[in-house]
Amino acid sequence: MTHNPKHTVEIDECSDNNRPSKISKIEYPNPSYHDGEQEEEEEQKEGMNQHRRIQRYLVAIEYIGTHFSGSQKQLTDRTVVGVLEEAFCKFVGQPVSVICSSRTDAGVHALSNVCHVDIERISKRKPGEVLPPHEPVVVRRAVNHFLQKQNGDLMVIDVRCVPSDFHARYKAQERTYFYRLLSGSEPLSTLEKDRAWHVPEELNLPAMQEACRVLVGHHDFSSFRAAGCQAKSPIRTLDELSVVEVIQSPYFPSVMDRERQIKVADDLHGCGSNAEAVIPVSSSARIDKVRASNEGVGFGKRRYHRCLVVTARARAFLYHQVRLLVGVLKAVGTGNLTIPDVERILNAKTVTAASPMAPACGLYLGEVKYDLPS
């Protein structure tokens, strides 16, 4: 098996507890988010793989981040990569190294995060005999079998064979995050606990949408990166920053849904709209119906909150950038900040100028986009 040079762990065998018998050295990765720089040791490792019968798999996963201490592997805490590596180890009978496309913090969820893993299929009946690689459907089914023996908060949703030089992080072309805000004085449902940011105040959606137009595009986002960010440059291109109102649901508006809402708004207001930067006021009759239903709700039925979803899309993000952006948008929605304040914060180029960061519980990694080989 190949080993991740940043996580060198010697394990005698894959036991049920998957405890390492000897830890030689662990170096935690640079915490900067998606800088795009390719590391030389990765290229050397790919060259070694060419001489062995190793199959690289691209693996899409979903998880509820509440009980994970982030995605990156740690010595003692439960993490997404740690649990996933344990499940793969039990499947293939030897340790593997999982490389994630996008690092998520403790409490952050994923509708679809992507990672890659190298597997050399060795016969269990004849040790040392190398067998043809597993089919992706077999990998998905087997790994999920072991994952479900855990808390059931992590699942493989797709698997694909890719060339040995296909890197889940460096080949990613675009990442999309969603953030859920539930607005209203009604106490938060227990079913929504740790799944959204509850804002008791009423949120001004048009004002938040206007603030999005200030922040979207190519900027120095120094005011929107945490102090621990080690990215070489604060310059990023935010391809989309939008906020729409949706019916309260654990799901999110797809690209098609957002385009449909933009078209409806164009038809109603008779003006052009840039789907990348201009976000229309939601005109869904279904939302109005939900609002009206709250007035005469029957006994034993919960009153709904207004549900706003912020969408942030870019090739790469700075550390805590999305949560800092949402914090400013929320402050605009409650009236604590004005649009000139947003411009001032952006131009200040210091994180101390921004509003408090949004909590992790409402953030979801929605999609990682690739130009996949055929």
**Which among 304, 300, 325 has a CA at the least distance from the CA of 236?**
325
Amino acid at 181: L
CB 71 within 8 A of CB 104: yes
**What residues have CB less than 8 Å from 349, skipping those under 6 apart?**
220, 222, 223, 234
Question: Mutual orientation of helices 339-348 and 321-334 as an angle, nearest 10°?
Answer: 150
Radius of gyration over every alpha carbon of the chain, rounded to an integer in angstroms:
23
Rounded to whole angstroms, how far apart are CA atoms 114 and 159? 10
Helix (H) or strand (E) holding 359: none
CB 217 within 8 A of CB 237: yes
DSSP states of 189-200 as a string? PGGGTTTSEEE-
Residue 77 designated active-site: no
The neighbour count for residue 25, using CB atoms within 10 Å, is 10
Rounded to whole angstroms, how far apart are CA atoms 319 and 104? 10
Phi and psi torsions of 62, nearest 5°? -125, 150
Torsion angle of the four alpha carbons 208, 209, 215, 218, in this order, in degrees rounded to the nearest 10: 160
Rounded to whole angstroms, how far apart are CA atoms 309 and 119? 38
Q: Which of 147-166 are b and which e, b meaning 16 or more Cβ less than 10 Å from the residue's Cβ?
A: beeeeebbebeebbebebeb
Rounded to whole angstroms, how far apart are CA atoms 202 and 27? 46
Choice among 16, 105, 118, 220 that is catalytic: 105
Q: Across the chain, how many H-helices and E-strands are there?
A: 8, 12
Burial class (CB in 10 A: 0-12, 13-18, 19+), 169: buried
Rounded to whole angstroms, how far apart are CA atoms 374 and 369? 15
Helix, strand, coil tally for the chain in percent (to 5): 30, 25, 45
List the catalytic residues: 105
